[in-house]
Amino acid sequence: MSNSYLETIRSFNGEIFNLLYHQRRYESVLKSLGIMDFKNLQDYLNPPVSGLYRCRLTYDEQKIDVTYHKYEKREVKSIKLVYDDEIDYSKKSTNRDELDKLFEKREDCDEILIIKNSLVTDTTIANVAFYKDSLWYTPKKPLLEGTTRQRLLDEGKIIEKDICVKDLKKYSKVALMNAMVDFDIITQYDLKDMTC
């Protein structure tokens, strides 16, 4: 296997969050590659006992490595729409070249929202959800099926729906979802390049 994959896992004061969902995705990636020899990720995690950390677990068919990074949230207040009908990031790979190239198009914005075949997908760092009529909707076809997104779907807190770029103006709020920020409602934000 030429590529390696990763899980970003939240740890606070030594407690590890949502490991079941990370374990499931790790096993799903290996299964898709024809590998059935799964490790228990818990056995590889020993985060610092004080503070908020991003546990970066990388793996391939041979080994698992973990590094720990003190986490500081990146503020997102402006989001630029970027279009790419070919991008594929269906597995959480350590190779983020495609995402990095799109991120470079953000101009003066903090983050980008990737539009694929006229449908909203993800930002470079998180799944997204949009608020309308007292409900939160998340794109049915994200670039990556995130662990926090899956947990919130299982809990019935968000609903899958195709969100067309031309319909974005119908939603009143946006939230980012990933392992580190959980469900982060962006209270003040601008969507740039609303060419719809």
Average pLDDT over residues 142-152: 98
Do 20 and 91 sit in the same domain of this protein?
no
Residue 85 structural domain: 78-192
Q: Tokens representing 64?
A: 């698992």
User: What's the CATH code of the domain at 146?
Assistant: 3.20.10.10
The pLDDT assigned to 3 comes to: 86
Contact 154, 115 (CB under 8 A): no
- Token pair listed for 115: 């539009």
Res 170: pLDDT = 94
Q: Which residues of 99-111 are buried (b: 16+ CB within 10 A; e: fewer)?
A: beebbeebeebbb
Does an H or E element contain 129, and which?
Answer: strand 127-132
Q: Do residue 63 and residue 82 come from a single domain?
A: no
Whether pLDDT at 189 is above 90? no
Q: Domain boundary at 43, 70, 97, which?
A: 70
Query: Domain check: are 47 and 115 in the same one?
Result: no
What pLDDT does residue 111 have?
95
> At residue 9, does pLDDT exceed 60?
yes
Helix, strand or coil, per DSSP, at residue 1: coil
The pLDDT score that the predictor gives to residue 31 is: 96
Q: Percentage of the chain with pLDDT > 70?
A: 97
H/E element, 68: strand 64-70
Task: Please give the torsion angle defined by the CA atoms of residues 104, 57, 181 and 179, in that order, rounded to the nearest 10 degrees.
Answer: 110
Q: What does the pLDDT read at residue 1?
A: 41
Find the mean pLDDT for residues 107-117. 95
Gap between the Cα atoms of 163 and 138, Å rounded: 8
Res 62: pLDDT: 87
Mean predicted confidence (pLDDT) in 33-57: 97
Is pLDDT of 196 > 50? no
Give 20-32 pLDDT, tens digit per residue: 999 999 999 999 9
User: Could you tell me if 22 and 101 lie in one domain?
Assistant: no
pTM attached to this predicted model: 0.93
Average confidence score pLDDT of the chain: 94
Report the number of distinct structural domains present in the chain: 2
With 0-12 / 13-18 / 19 or more C-beta atoms within 10 angstroms meaning exposed / middle / buried, residue 56 is middle
Task: Give pLDDT tens digits for 68-105.
Answer: 999 999 999 999 999 999 999 999 999 999 999 999 99
Which tokens is 173 given? 């709020």
Same-domain status, 93 and 163: yes
